[in-house]
Amino acid sequence: MGCGAAEMAALLRAGAATIERHRVELIDLDRPIGDADHGENMNRGFAAVVSTLDTAVPETPGGVLKIAATTLISKVGGAAGPLYGTAFLRAATTLGDAAELDPPAVLAALRAARDGVVARGKAEVGDATMIDALSPAVDAAEMAEANGIAAMLAAAADAADKGAESTTPLVARKGRASYLGERSVGHLDPGARSTALLLRAFAEAVG
């Protein structure tokens, strides 16, 4: 199957739906180690992305991601707004004006998203952030590149789930949770969780 602008818009709508379903879960994850706004902020941002796509869908997958990026940057706020905004923006830039995506393009977009988040947040694997989900997801997608886009996203989603789980025993070293030091141990990072949720939604929408 191809992946054009319409399919990309469908991915984002699926992402928005999953964020809405898990809004309370994300709020609860954020409460003990942050300011309990991650679920609300993400839901507001993705709802705005859906509204924007309801008005008009850009002609290319990159165009769709760019609209999503600027909307998330403006509407999500907090650290998640700039981080997710950067991820989508870098992916959009990498895709350029390609009308249909093939596996190498999807991999390049995922890599660009990860590199963007790493650069923006200055976090690395093991800091208990969304990088702990995103980075292994990109690696897994790379391993599955030969098997097509659906297989890549499925592998990415599996790896992101495991990566998100791995943040529970970690001491947070970035973001609000890092102020808690040792007390952040025992908490699943909300940003890693939302990253895993989104990748799972993308995988299911394609698969």
Partner 1 sequence: MRVGLVVVSHSAKLAEGVAELAAQMAPDVGVHAAGGLPDGGIGTDFDAVLAATQAADTGAGVVLLYDLGSAQMTAELAVESLTDPGSAVVVDAPLVEGAVAAAVAAQGGSDRAAVAQAAASAGAGDGARQEEPAAEQRQADRIELTLANEVGLHARPAALLVRSIAGLDADVRIRRGDDEADAHSVLALMSLSARKGDRLEITATGSQAGEALRRIEDLAERNFDE
Residues lying near partner 1 in the complex (CB under 8 A): 73-74, 77-79, 81-83, 85-86, 120-121, 174-176
Q: How many helices (H) and strands (E) does the chain have?
A: 9, 0
| CB nearer to partner 1: pick between 22 and 174 | 174
> How many other β-carbons are positioned within 10 Å of the β-carbon of residue 99?
14
Strands (E), 114-168: none
- Least distance CB 191 / partner 1 (angstroms): 11
Question: Residue 203 is which amino acid?
Answer: A
| CB nearer to partner 1: pick between 4 and 82 | 82
Closest among 126, 120, 123, 110 to 167, alpha carbons compared: 126
- Least distance CB 29 / partner 1 (angstroms): 17
Measured in residues, the chain has a length of 207
- Least distance CB 157 / partner 1 (angstroms): 26
- Least distance CB 121 / partner 1 (angstroms): 7
State the burial class of residue 165 (Cβ atoms within 10 Å of its Cβ: 0-12, 13-18, 19+): middle
CA distances from 95 to 103, 106, 190 (A): 12, 8, 28
| CB nearer to partner 1: pick between 70 and 168 | 70
| CB nearer to partner 1: pick between 163 and 175 | 175
- Least distance CB 6 / partner 1 (angstroms): 27
Whole-angstrom distance, CA of residue 94 vs CA of residue 88: 10
| CB nearer to partner 1: pick between 31 and 162 | 31
Whole-angstrom distance, CA of residue 11 vs CA of residue 198: 9
- Least distance CB 69 / partner 1 (angstroms): 10
Rounded to a whole number, what is the distance in angstroms from the first to the last CA of the chain?
10
| CB nearer to partner 1: pick between 39 and 85 | 85
Whole-angstrom distance, CA of residue 147 vs CA of residue 65: 24
